[in-house]
Amino acid sequence: VTRLRIWLPWLARWAVAATFAAAAVPKLLEPVAFAADLQGFRAFPHWSINALAATVPILELVAAAAYLHPRTRRAGTWLLGALLGAFIILLASAVLRGIDVACGCFGQDPTARAAGWPEIFRDAALWAAVMLGARRGTPRADAARLPRRSEAC
């Protein structure tokens, strides 16, 4: 159980960072498609869509990198938490307004169904993983604090 408490946040951090990187890269490569996805939500003023399409993927990458580094982890946690909160609100508003729009969360997926509650729950789970990964400690650092096997026995 102790080892799990050490490794779980570490695993959560890398899983969250990898997820955000996987989400950011397609958007960086296809900014116009991402801008069209954003427009589909009909939640942003027209003048802001291109700026958001250019900035959000970079913010995702920067926040993920900050989240991995111990010195900037708290700031990374705040940013990732805020991003996920915004995504959840955006998706929920689309669902409640009955808008048939693809999530666009991981770039343009032609086979994607309209965004719905599964995407909202996925983002909520990711938010929980962000909070889990924000717990202090790395396997290497915390392993030193573990009782040695000979001591424990």
Partner 1 sequence: MDRSLLRQLAALLGTSMALGAVRLGVSELPWVADPPAETSSCGDPSGGAPRAIERITVARAREFLGRPGVTFVDARPRGEYDLSHIPGAFSLPADDAADLLEVSSVPITPEDLVITYCDGGACERSEYLGMLLEDRDTCRDAYVLDGGWRAWLAAGSPTTTPDTTAGAQAP
44-80 in b/e form (b: 16+ CB < 10 A) is eeeeebeebbeebbebbbbbbebbbeeeebeebbebb
Which residue, 37 or 123, has its beta carbon nearer to partner 1? Answer: 37
Which residue, 8 or 21, has its beta carbon nearer to partner 1? Answer: 21
Number of H helices, E strands in the chain: 7, 0
Which residue, 38 or 88, has its beta carbon nearer to partner 1? Answer: 38
Which residue, 72 or 132, has its beta carbon nearer to partner 1? Answer: 72
Nearest to 83 by CA among 121, 119, 57: 57
Taking the complex as a whole, how short is the minimal distance between the CB of residue 145 and partner 1, in angstroms? 25
Q: What is the C-alpha radius of gyration for the chain, rounded to an integer number of angstroms?
A: 18
Taking the complex as a whole, how short is the minimal distance between the CB of residue 113 and partner 1, in angstroms? 5
Cα gap 37→42, rounded to integer Å: 9
Taking the complex as a whole, how short is the minimal distance between the CB of residue 51 and partner 1, in angstroms? 6
**Interacting residues toward partner 1 by CB under 8 A:** 28, 31-33, 35-40, 42, 46, 49-51, 53-56, 58-59, 62-63, 66, 72, 74-76, 78-79, 99-102, 108, 110-114
Which residue, 54 or 132, has its beta carbon nearer to partner 1? Answer: 54
Handedness of CA 26, 31, 34, 38 (dihedral sign): positive
Taking the complex as a whole, how short is the minimal distance between the CB of residue 100 and partner 1, in angstroms? 5
Cα gap 66→86, rounded to integer Å: 19
Taking the complex as a whole, how short is the minimal distance between the CB of residue 101 and partner 1, in angstroms? 6
